[in-house]
Amino acid sequence: MSNSDTVDCLFSEAYALIEQGLCYDEVNDKQNALLMYQKGLDLSQQAFELEKEPNSEKKENLSKTSQGLSRVKELV
């Protein structure tokens, strides 16, 4: 698996965890929501660390992702 594939996989899994956190939030299960958000943030951080030299399109996507993750961190 290439580095790019690994990064994509990590981001996909991170977003799935954050989506699960949102589902827990909707039913007012804050403890599990925070757990899912934290796991998603951890995987996202791993992906950012692996992505050393993104192309311009990926760089823009990483910037947008970083902004979204900052909002999630505020909740956690």
Q: Is 40 exposed, middle or buried (0-12, 13-18, 19+ CB in 10 A)?
A: buried
pTM of the predicted model, to two decimals? 0.69
Tens-place pLDDT, residues 26-41? 999 999 999 999 999 9
- Among 29, 32, 33, 23, smallest CA distance to 72 is for 33
Distance CA 54, CA 26 (A): 35
Q: Does domain 3-75 have CATH number 1.20.58?
A: yes
Q: Any idea where the domains of the chain sit in the sequence?
A: 3-75
Residue 23 confidence (pLDDT): 96
